[in-house]
Structure 1
Amino acid sequence: MSPSAKIAALPCGRRAKWFVLAFWLVLLVVAVPLAGKLADVEDNEASSWLPGNAESTQVLEAQRGFFPVDTAQAVVVYERDGGITAADRAVAVRDAAAFADAPHVAGVVVGPQVSADGEAMQTIVPVDIGTGGWEDLQPAVDSLRATASDGSLGMATYVTGPAGIGADQAEAFAGIDGTLLIATVMVVIVLLLLTYRSPVLWLLPLFSAGAALMVAEAVIYLLARYAGLTVNAQSAGILIVLVLGAGTDYALLITARYREELRNHRDRHEAMAFALHRAGPAILASSATVVASMLCLLLAEMNSTRGLGPVCAIGVLVALAAMLTLLPAILVIVGRWVFWPVRPAYGTPEPTRSGRWAHVGGWIGRRPRKVWTGTALALAVCSLGLISLNATGLTAAGTFTGKPDSVTGQQVLAAHFPGGTGSPLTVVSNADGAERVRVTTAATQGVAGATDVVVKNGEAIFQATLADPPDSDAAKATVDRVRDAVHAIPGADAQVGGNTAVQLDAGRAAAHDNKVIIPVVLVVVMLILAALLRAVVAPLVLIGTVVLSFTAALGVSAFVFAHVFHFEGQDQAFPLFVFVFLVALGIDYNIFLMTRVREESAHRGTREGAVAGLAATGGVITSAGLILASTFAVLGTLPVVGFAEIGFAVALGVLLDTLVVRSVLVTALTIDLDRHMWWPSRLGTRAAAGEHRTQAAPQAPGP
């Protein structure tokens, strides 16, 4: 037995299997309590999402020297179509006094102020964010909404501004981990039942994937608590989907190969050892592409993007470990009966030899060039939908799939007051140049006014109201004008921040990340494929097909978002996230296919090897793709546009890659390129010789 075969046999030995199971059970006893604490170390403060070196981030840090606690402004808006009355003003004054006495209010309550058209009022309330980030905003804003006039006098009341919007976002994310976990598990259970058609077998992959998730969350909790790893609601939510989806994929491939080997070996321990020896390299390479792609996110300027990388990488590594040790041990322990009612007995024929994928492969083999050119053209047409892509960021209203109170209030506020009311620019400078900075800022086009300067310990701060809505392009242009103006004041050391500046800096950082990370991911994945397949042409072809799949999925998604769901646009990081997930996960299925094709081509020839490889892997990879696509589609159930868009696009891309790109396009290209696919590997020569040695119809024993 070769060294690699001996290593593969370790988890499924007659005694070792019990040690493996005991190890994971002990690990779970330790991990489950720690995994439950992951939400406690999530960092959802603005600075954890922003680029660390951005001017707006530095202003956030500078503000701490002026305010004893982190605050966000809530804007209580009152509106009456017939005009604000004296009684309305009295109500608003009474509300303001109540706000000032509330324990969660930190600072001076400003207002009520009546709008120029006399139809609205606003009261600005500084809310203590506390140490919990946006989660602490929700109870504070709920209290404001309960205190404010309920409209019984015919006057509509809303709570908006950064605090109101942040509270509604917190509500949208509330319980996100539990919601995603339950929905994802239900999807996986249903699809595993349909895949295995067994009342018992589905429990083993699900248990193994669940164990991987608990251990991954425990490891991430410890790293966040003691090693400074940044985790937020976004990365914690995606972790659940990725670990359960990718882990179940690996489980399907191992179980399918094990089922095949049970027909070829009397002893189930030998069957599993052979299955791990054959399927292990493909699964290792697959996980390596995902991990390497995720770690490329460390090059990002956006803190939220950079933090997502190691979180997902850890999740995939733990899922890999569970599927290569825990699952094989459990499968060997329970024996063949777990496959009931279709028990793979020794010596029985493999059903995939004449299955539907064998027929698909035969159809492709008769006209490979027409098939791949037609398929590529169809994907290119789908890519035209990219003209609908609007990844320039989402406004407050565009963040939600619905229309919460804060969004309505923001629209009312913009209709009656200067657009930037409630979300001002924050300008910091040294004390000596503060007044010059304030005068310059107030005189800049797009600024409606500026507050007085506050000086403390030689530093100064003031706020400026924008004339345009804070999340508009016009407001962002004003930020640039103000920055250019105040940076030109000698010796002032002025910096400009605030919510609009945050959006501007985040958009520019995301554009930088797209330009840097996407090429790096392509190069890294290309190198992994070249090492695995020991060829140059095959990796180039596979990378090209996955990129085409990505552009097609993005094009169709952008068209649907704009013309079916009527979303206003996409987050700046949307293309990067979809690219990384689709390239990493899309390459997975190509790896599973092409490693089997390479194995078959060594003795069948490339043309027959491609058809045999498709017949062997088609069913299991399709099942794996459906499960992974469905788990990402679960993100679409959340009331947050960013998650819904990522879930839809990745799910669509995985389906395209599984059903079209991998099964049709790659197979047709492999058949058409024939032995040249393996250049410069010696396999091309051996494959050509193999074609002359065999006259048998293309068959494969199983995945």
Structure 2
Amino acid sequence: NSPSGFASTSTGSKTADSTYGNNALSAHFPSSNFNPTTLIYQMPNSVWTNSHELSQLAGLQKELASNRAFTHFVGPFDPLGLPLSVSEVSSLYANLGNPHLLPVTPPPNSTISSQLYQSYRSLSQFITPDGTTVLFNTLLSAGDPASNTAIDAIPHIRSIATTAGQRFGAIKSGVAGEAPAAYDISSASNSDLFKIVPIVVVIIGLLLAIVLRSAVAPFYLVISVVLSYLAALGLDVLVFIRIKHDHGLTFVLPFLLFLFLLALGEDYNILVMTRIREEAHHHGLKEAVRTAIGATGTVVTSAGIVLAATFFVLGTAGSGGSSQVQEIGLGLALGILMDTFLVRTLLVPSAVVLIGKFNWWPSRLFGEHAIRERDTSDDIDLPPAGLAVVSSTP
């Protein structure tokens, strides 16, 4: 009668045996057994031997069960749907001892009904043998634990649990389950992402400045990678949340998108920009861009296609029906394709042409292009020296 704790319907395959098992549990057992959110409390003394602590625990369960944040609530005073009073639990403990040590069936000469015996024995699922740690299984009013509404409700649930625990003498409290775990993971990953991205972007910008010997080009090259990352993330939201109606994106997808798009994007940037810089020593900027893209475009596009195809196969054939693997595989494939065909082959070359000679500032190449542009502007048709320009005006 305890929670199964596996095969979350939001991530597991619909055809997996574990999913069928969870469906059977939800059909034949109380709904709180199927993916519950668990409230855990530590009491200062054992509730088995201290009637005051047991009364406090009963008050705690009553207050929590009446809270609108929960749609279903199961605890030690109604483990099988049969209410147990404080006096009944104390009497049963005095007659039968610790429920953790009881056999499956009542003793032969027991005067206690089988239903009451099994209810008392079920307390072992909610109270530890030493009687100091207690748990309650709940279902959240916010909905499925895998949904965004349930995950966003976790701070409020923790506040309710802590306040109630302090009121009834608990020395520690906690909330466990899929929604709290998802909330903690999401909070940690978002915090780390906001810290890591600026640091990595600055380091990449400095490396680009050294390689290209330019203080201008690294700015728009880094911006192109950030735009590519944000656009790919937005595309994944559009596909998986708006169109496919998933609850949300798996927490690892933003990290993986940033990792691959930054790594590949800057590799492609260095490959393309170093070739443009090389050609710019001998040609005008437009011709240098045209030649460099023609020479490196095949490498960039073929590498992008191969990597995107690899992730596409992972998201389709290798997912096993798991929505998380589908999001990772297809999300990375879409982001890599967009970065390959839009950013590296269109956006970056266009920016190079528009910025012109300032791409190379303050290196010597900037001065060479400035002289070349001045010479070009001075190269206009003038009449030969010594010839007068005759006006047609009489």
Same fold (TM over 0.5): yes
Measured at CA, do residues 428 and 539 of structure 1 come closer, stay the same or move farther in structure 2, by a change above 3 Å?
A: same
Per the alignment, do residues 465 and 673 of structure 1 end up closer, same or farther by CA in structure 2, a change over 3 Å counting?
Answer: same
2:32 equivalent among 420, 423, 435: 420
Distance 2:246 2:170 in 1: 45
Q: Match for 1:514: what amino acid?
A: L
Q: Quick check: 1:461 aligned with 2:133?
A: yes
Aligned mates of 1:499, 1:442 — CA distance in 2 = 24
**Residue of structure 1 in register with 2:355 after alignment:** 673
Q: 1:556 aligns with which of 209, 223, 235?
A: 235
Give 1:689 shift: 3.9
- Please give the alpha-carbon distance, in whole angstroms, between the structure 1 residues aligned to 2:197 and 2:27: 41
Check whether the contact 1:479–1:500 (CA below 8 A) recurs between aligned residues.
no
Residues 448-473 of structure 1 deviation map (CA, whole Å, 9 limit, x = unaligned): 1323564567x832221103354454
Are 1:449 and 2:87 counterparts? no
1:409 Cα deviation after fit: 5.1
CA contact (8 A) 1:441 1:482 kept: no
Deviations 1:614-656 (A, max 9, x none): 1211111111111121122232021222222122122222222
The SS at the match of 2:73 is: strand
Q: Name stretches of at least 5 consecutive residues in structure 1 with no aligned partner.
A: 1-122, 126-160, 166-395, 695-703
Q: Is the 8 A contact 1:421 1:465 kept in 2?
A: yes
Letter in 2 for 1:124: S
**Which residue identity lines up with residue 440 of structure 1 in the other structure?**
L
Where does residue 341 of structure 2 map in the other structure?
Answer: 659
Task: Give me the whole-angstrom Cα distance separating, in 1, the residues matched to 2:342 and 2:233.
Answer: 15
Identify the residue that residue 162 of structure 1 maps to in structure 2. Answer: 5
Mapped contact 2:2–2:33 kept (Cα < 8 A): no
Aligned partner of 2:45 in structure 1 is: 432
Matching residue within 147, 167, 173 for 1:494: 173
Aligned to 1:540: 219
Matches within 5 A, 1:84-233: 123-124=1-2, 161-163=4-6, 165=7
Cα contact 1:425–1:500 (8 A) shared by 2 = no
Tell me the SS of whatever aligns to 1:591.
helix
Mapped pair 1:399 → 2:11: yes
**How many angstroms apart in 1 are the aligned matches of 2:63 and 2:286?**
73
User: 1:513 is matched with which residue: 174, 178, 192?
Assistant: 192
Q: Against the structure 1 CA distance between its residues 450 and 574, is the aligned structure 2 distance closer, same or farther, given a 3 Å change threshold? A: same
Secondary structure at the residue paired with 1:465? Answer: strand
Q: Equivalent residues in 2 for 1:235-246 (5 A)?
A: none
What SS does the corresponding residue of 1:398 show, helix, strand or coil? coil
1:560-617 CA-partner distances (Å, limit 9, x unpaired): 2235544342113322321222122222211110111112223324333222211211
8 A Cα contact 1:610 1:667, kept in partner: yes
Equivalent residue of 1:397, what SS?
A: coil
Shift of 1:541: 0.7
Structure 1 residue 556, shift from structure 2 partner: 2.4
- The residue aligned with 2:302 is 623
Q: Deviations over 1:131-187 (max 9, x none)?
A: xxxxxxxxxxxxxxxxxxxxxxxxxxxxxx314x2xxxxxxxxxxxxxxxxxxxxxx
> For residues 442 and 682 of structure 1, what CA distance do their matches in structure 2 show?
79
Distance (Å, rounded) in 2 between the aligned partners of 1:420 and 1:515: 36
Closer, same or farther: CA 449–402 of 1 in aligned 2, 3 Å: closer
1:491 is displaced (CA, Å) by 7.2
Q: Give, in whole Å, the separation in 1 of the partners of 2:207 and 2:167.
A: 49
- Equivalent position amino acid for 2:2 in 1: I
Q: What amino acid does structure 2 have at the position aligned with 1:634?
A: V
Contact 1:542/1:590 (<8 A) preserved: yes
Instruction: Report the secondary structure of 2:2's partner residue.
Output: strand
Q: Percent identity?
A: 33
Amino acid at match of 2:16: P
Q: Output one character per residue of 1:107-136: Cα deviation in whole Å (capped at 9) or x when no partner.
A: xxxxxxxxxxxxxxxx438xxxxxxxxxxx
CA contact (8 A) 2:146 2:247 kept: no
CA drift at 1:693: 8.6
For 1:463, the aligned partner's letter is: L
Give the Cα separation in 2 of the matches to 1:498 and 1:508: 16
SS of structure 2 residue aligned to 1:535: coil
Q: Which amino acid aligns with 1:524?
A: I
Letter matched to residue 625 of structure 1: G
SS in 1 for 2:282: helix
From the CA coordinates, give the structure whose radius of gyration is larger: 2
Give the secondary structure class of the aligned counterpart of 1:668: helix
When the two structures are superposed, what TM-score results if normalisation uses the length of structure 1? 0.39
How many residues matched? 305
Aligned to 1:339: none
> CA offsets per residue over residues 231-259 of structure 1, 9 Å max, x none?
xxxxxxxxxxxxxxxxxxxxxxxxxxxxx
- The residue number in structure 1 matching 2:117 is none
Structure 1 counterpart SS, 2:281: helix
Q: CA RMSD in A?
A: 3.2
* Contact 1:442–1:448 under 8 Å retained in 2: no
Q: Residue 498 and residue 399 in structure 1: after superposition, are their counterparts in 2 closer, same or farther (change >3 A)?
A: closer
Structure 1's 618 and 438: CA in aligned 2 closer, same or farther, altered over 3 A?
Answer: farther
CA displacement, residues 326-385 of structure 1 (integer Å, 9 cap, x when unaligned): xxxxxxxxxxxxxxxxxxxxxxxxxxxxxxxxxxxxxxxxxxxxxxxxxxxxxxxxxxxx
Letter matched to residue 594 of structure 1: M
**Contact 2:304–2:337 (8 Å) recurs in 1:** yes
- SS across alignment from 1:519: helix
- Where structure 2 has 5 or more consecutive residues not aligned to the other structure, the ranges are 48-52, 77-122, 377-394
After TM superposition, the score normalised by the length of structure 2 is 0.67
1:604 is the counterpart of 2:283: yes
User: What is the distance in 2 between the residues matched to 1:609 and 1:404?
Assistant: 56
d(CA) in 1 for partners of 2:282, 2:40: 71
Task: List aligned pairs for 1:516-535, cutoff 5 A.
Answer: 516-535=195-214
Does structure 2 retain, via aligned residues, the 8 Å contact 1:483–1:496? Answer: no
